A and B are shown apart, each in its own frame.
Chain A
C-alpha cells in the first residue's frame, strides 16, 4: 500500500520538475503564470496523497490554504497582465 503512494509521489515530483522547467525557461509572463498555476495543482495533489499516506489531517489544512491562495494568485497575476499589457 505504501509502495503505491510512494510511486505516485515520485510521479508527481517528476511532473512538478517538468512544469517548473517551463516556468524557468520560457519567456513571457503568461507562460510562467500558466506553469505556476499548474504547479500549485500538482502540489495540492501531492498534499492529498500525503494525507492519505500518513493519516495526518494537517496536510488537508495545507491543501485547503494552498487551493485558495492559488486562486488568488492566478486572478491577481491575470489582472496584472491585463492592466499592464505585458
Chain B
C-alpha cells in the first residue's frame, strides 16, 4: 500500500511539474501580455493542485495535511482574482491599445 501511494504521488508531482514547464514555455512564446497571462494562469491553480495532491500522500500528520489543504484552497481563491486584476490593469495600458480585442 505504501508503494502504491509512492507511485501515485510520483505521477501526480511529475504531472504538475510538466504542466508548469508547458505553461512557462507558453509565457515566453506568446507575444502579448494578455496572451502570456492565458498561459501563466494555468500552473497557478492546476500545477499547485497536482503538486499539492502529490505531496499530501507523503505527509503523515494531520497538521501538515490540513495546512497543505489550506494552501491549495487559498491558491484557488486568490489566483483567478489576481490574474483578473492584472488583466484589467494590463488592458488599460497604452502599448496594447492597437489590439483587436481591446
Size of the A side of the interface (Cβ < 8 Å), in residues, is 54
Among candidates A9, A21, A30, A70, residue contacting B93 with C-beta atoms closer than 8 Å:
A30
Nearest chain A residue, comparing its CB with the CB of B90: A30
- Give chain B residues whose Cβ lies under 8 Å from the Cβ of A61: 67
Option from A8, A34, A42 in Cβ contact (under 8 Å) with B36 = A34
Q: Say whether A77 contacts B17, CB under 8 Å.
A: no
- Across chains A and B, the number of contacting residue pairs, with CB separation under 8 Å, is 196
Residue of A with least CB distance to B69: A60
**Residues in B whose Cβ lies below 8 Å from that of A31:** 33, 36
Whether the pair B75, A44 counts as a contact (CB closer than 8 A) is yes
In the bound assembly, the distance between CA atoms of A41 and B37 in angstroms comes to 12
A residues apposed to B, CB below 8 Å: 1, 4-5, 7-9, 11-12, 14-16, 18-19, 21-22, 27-31, 33-35, 37-38, 41-42, 44-45, 48-49, 51-53, 55, 57, 60-61, 63-64, 67-68, 70-71, 74-75, 77-82, 85-86
Mind listing 7 A-B residue pairs with CB under 8 Å? A11-B14, A19-B28, A28-B95, A38-B27, A53-B55, A57-B61, A75-B81
In the A-B complex, the 7 residue pairs with the smallest Cβ-Cβ separation, listed nearest first, are A52-B55, A4-B10, A78-B89, A38-B40, A15-B24, A71-B78, A30-B90
